[in-house]
A = this chain, B = another copy of it.
Amino acid sequence: MLFKIDTETTSRPAGRIRQKNESIILRAAEIEFAAAGFKGASMNDIAQRAQLPKANIHYYFKNKLGLYMAVISDIIALWDSTLNAITPDDDPYEVLSHYIARKIRFSAENPLASRIFASELVNGAPNMKEYFREDYNLWFKGRTEVFRAWAEQGKIDAAVTPEHLIFLLWSSTQHYADFAVQIKAALGKEELDDADYQNATDTLTHIILKGCGITK
């Protein structure tokens, strides 16, 4: 997607030290932003977690927003790519079961990224206005065409609106990262293990595929 942000302070090729420090800062920022949102996180806390002086962060990143966008842009790239791979010629059963498994795995492995994205959206996406411009609608329309083609080929129930099926795929899988606290409390566990994620994947796959009338 078309969504570029200036995150570098200088235009010089990254030196070894720079590269290392930037990645340390980004990792620290990811944790802080995930825990408190954009406004809630403080440069001070990020600096402390990165074990670097506050001014050092301002040397590597233009300002707080620049750092935030640097963290978020990585997440967005991952997001878009998941749906883009699907074409009308694919087998719905194969593709969707793969998609569900992949998104749940992503939720399990990158919970912080998911949560920062979710936090941004829940608050009305004030820092991502350009991302949700007109072309987002066009891109999404293109993606629904795939499901519509499947419906015309009788591979999916006519009662299923492609748009809302996509929303269902997104919501049900992201939920395991975004609402992890509630899920852990409900299941009475400190952390979710592989069996939990497998269970989630199996149940979601069963319900969604069968519910859409997609057969193997």
Which A residues contact B (CB, under 8 angstroms)?
34-40, 115, 118-119, 121-126, 132-134, 136-137, 140-141, 157, 159-161, 163-168, 170-172, 174-176, 178-179, 181-183, 185-188, 199-200, 202-204, 206-213
User: B206 contacts A211, CB within 8 Å?
Assistant: yes
Q: Which residue of B lies closest to A115 (CB)?
A: B122
Alpha-carbon distance between A172 and B186 when the two chains are bound, in angstroms: 17
Q: Inside 8 A of A163's CB, which chain B residues have their CB?
A: 186-187, 199
Query: Which B residues are CB-close (under 8 A) to A211?
Result: 206-212
Are B175 and A170 touching (Cβ within 8 A)? yes
Chain B positions within 8 Å of A179 at CB level: 118, 121-122, 167, 170-171
Pairs across A and B, CB under 8 Å, 5 listed: A35-B124, A132-B181, A159-B202, A171-B171, A171-B174
